[in-house]
C-alpha cells in the first residue's frame, strides 16, 4: 500500500476580492516526482506557500505525510524540505555554518552531523567551498547549497519553487540529476514548479497545470498530449492555458497581497 505524501482537498486562498487558489484537490504519492505548472499569477507560489505553512488557506485541508498543515504545523514542517524561488541563505555565514544552523532548527542529531553535512556538500559539489562565505557563491552554487540544506533533515517531501530559474543549462541538468537520484534512492516525494516545460517532461511522473487558481489538467505528459491532441508538452500547455501573455501585475499583486495578509500558521 502506498501512502499519499501530499494531499490537498478543496483548497482555496482568497486575498480580499482576489481568489488566488480556487478549490483545488490533488494527491501526490510517496516517492512521486510531481510538476506543478502554470502561467505567472496562476496560483503556483500561493499553493507552495500554503503547503509550506507560510500562508494559511481560506478553505479546504492540506496534509503532508498525514499531518494537517494548519492544525499540526510542526509535525508537517518536519516532513518537508523546501527550496524557495528566492534565496533564503545567510550570505554572511559559510556554507557549513548555514548547514549547522539548519540542523539546529530541525533538531538533527549531533552525532554523525559533520559527516552528513560533508556528504551532502560533496553531493552538490560544494565540499571544497564549505568554509567559504555564501556571499562569494554564484547563483548556481547558492541554489545547490539550498538543495543540500533542504535535504539535511531527511525530509519525506521536497518542495522546489522554480529551482532552476536563472541557472545555465549545465547547472540545471546537474541539479535534476541529483534530485532524481535522491528521490529514487530515498523514496522522497518531489513537488516542483517550473517554467521550463522540458524539465517537467524529463523528470516528472505526473504534471498538474493550474490557471486562474484552478487545476485545468492533471496527468502524465503522454496523457496531457493525448488530451489536447498535440505532440509536445509545450503545445499542450499553450493549448490549455492560451497564448495570451499574462499581466505581470497579477503576480505582483499576488505577492504583495500575500506579504501583507499572510498569517503564518503557528
Partner 1 sequence: MRIIYQLWLRQILKYVRSKSRIIGAVGQPLLFLLALGYGLGSVFQRAGQGNYIEFLVPGIITQTILFASIFWGINIIFDRIWGFLKETMVAPVSRLRIFVGSVLGGATTSLLQGLLVLIVSLFLGFRPYSWEGVLLAALIMAVLAVSITSLGAGMGSITDNIPGFQSINQFLIFPLYFLSSSIFPIDTAPDVLKIIASLNPISYAVDALRFALINQTHFGIGLDLVVLFGTMVVLIGFGTFCFRRIQA
Site residues, partner 1 (CB under 8 A): 52-54, 73-75, 77-78, 80, 82, 84, 86-93, 97, 100-102, 104-107, 133, 259-260, 262-264, 266
**Nearest distance from C-beta of residue 123 to partner 1, angstroms:** 20
**Nearest distance from C-beta of residue 232 to partner 1, angstroms:** 35
For partner 1, the closer of residues 61 and 100 by Cβ is 100
For partner 1, the closer of residues 86 and 185 by Cβ is 86
C-alpha cell at 33: 516526482
For partner 1, the closer of residues 74 and 249 by Cβ is 74
Closest C-alpha to 123, from 58, 82, 181, 165: 181
Query: Do 215 and 186 touch, CB atoms closer than 8 A?
Result: no
Angle at 166 between CA 224 and CA 79, to 5 degrees: 65
Strands 189-193 and 206-211, bridge-based pairing: unpaired
Closest C-alpha to 197, from 246, 164, 159: 164
Quickly count: other Cβ atoms within 10 Å of residue 158's Cβ.
23
Q: Which residues contact 14 (CB under 8 A, 6 or more apart)?
A: 20, 58
**Nearest distance from C-beta of residue 264 to partner 1, angstroms:** 6
**Nearest distance from C-beta of residue 104 to partner 1, angstroms:** 4
**Nearest distance from C-beta of residue 12 to partner 1, angstroms:** 20
**Nearest distance from C-beta of residue 259 to partner 1, angstroms:** 6
For partner 1, the closer of residues 44 and 77 by Cβ is 77
**Nearest distance from C-beta of residue 38 to partner 1, angstroms:** 21
Backbone angles phi, psi at 125, to 5 degrees: 60, 45
Q: In what order do the strands lie in the sheet with 67-68?
A: 18-29, 4-15, 59-64, 67-68
For partner 1, the closer of residues 100 and 228 by Cβ is 100
For partner 1, the closer of residues 34 and 84 by Cβ is 84
For partner 1, the closer of residues 160 and 207 by Cβ is 160
For partner 1, the closer of residues 90 and 177 by Cβ is 90
SS3 159: strand
Percentages helix, strand, coil for the chain (3-state, rounded to 5) are 40, 25, 35
Closest C-alpha to 107, from 57, 153, 49, 167: 153
**Nearest distance from C-beta of residue 89 to partner 1, angstroms:** 7
SS3 208: strand
Amino acid at each position: 500500500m502506498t501512502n499519499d505524501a501530499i494531499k490537498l482537498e478543496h483548497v482555496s486562498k482568497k486575498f480580499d476580492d482576489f481568489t488566488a487558489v480556487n478549490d483545488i484537490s490533488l494527491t501526490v504519492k510517496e516517492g512521486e516526482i510531481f510538476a506543478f505548472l502554470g502561467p505567472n499569477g496562476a496560483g503556483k507560489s500561493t499553493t507552495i506557500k500554503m503547503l509550506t505553512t507560510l500562508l494559511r488557506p481560506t478553505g479546504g485541508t492540506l496534509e503532508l505525510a498525514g499531518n494537517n498543515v494548519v492544525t499540526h504545523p510542526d509535525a508537517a514542517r518536519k516532513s518537508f524540505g523546501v527550496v524557495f524561488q528566492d534565496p533564503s541563505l545567510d550570505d554572511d555565514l559559510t556554507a557549513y555554518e548555514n548547514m549547522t544552523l539548519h540542523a539546529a532548527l530541525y533538531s538533527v542529531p549531533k552525532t554523525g552531523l559533520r559527516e552528513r553535512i560533508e556528504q551532502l556538500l560533496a553531493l552538490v559539489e560544494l565540499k571544497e567551498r564549505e568554509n567559504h562565505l555564501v556571499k562569494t557563491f554564484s547563483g548556481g552554487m547558492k541554489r545547490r547549497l539550498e538543495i543540500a540544506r533542504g535535504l539535511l533533515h531527511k525530509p519525506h517531501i521536497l518542495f522546489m519553487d522554480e529551482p532552476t530559474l536563472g541557472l545555465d543549462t549545465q547547472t540545471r541538468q546537474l541539479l535534476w540529476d541529483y534530485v532524481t537520484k535522491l528521490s529514487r534512492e530515498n523514496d522522497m516525494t518531489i513537488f516542483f514548479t517550473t517554467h521550463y516545460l522540458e524539465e517537467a517532461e524529463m523528470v516528472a511522473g505526473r504534471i498538474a497545470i493550474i490557471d486562474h487558481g484552478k487545476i485545468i489538467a492533471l496527468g502524465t505528459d503522454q496523457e496531457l498530449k493525448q488530451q489536447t491532441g498535440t505532440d509536445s508538452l509545450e503545445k499542450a500547455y499553450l493549448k490549455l492555458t492560451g497564448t495570451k501573455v499574462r499581466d505581470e501585475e497579477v503576480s505582483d499583486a499576488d505577492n504583495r497581497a500575500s506579504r501583507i495578509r499572510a498569517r503564518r500558521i503557528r
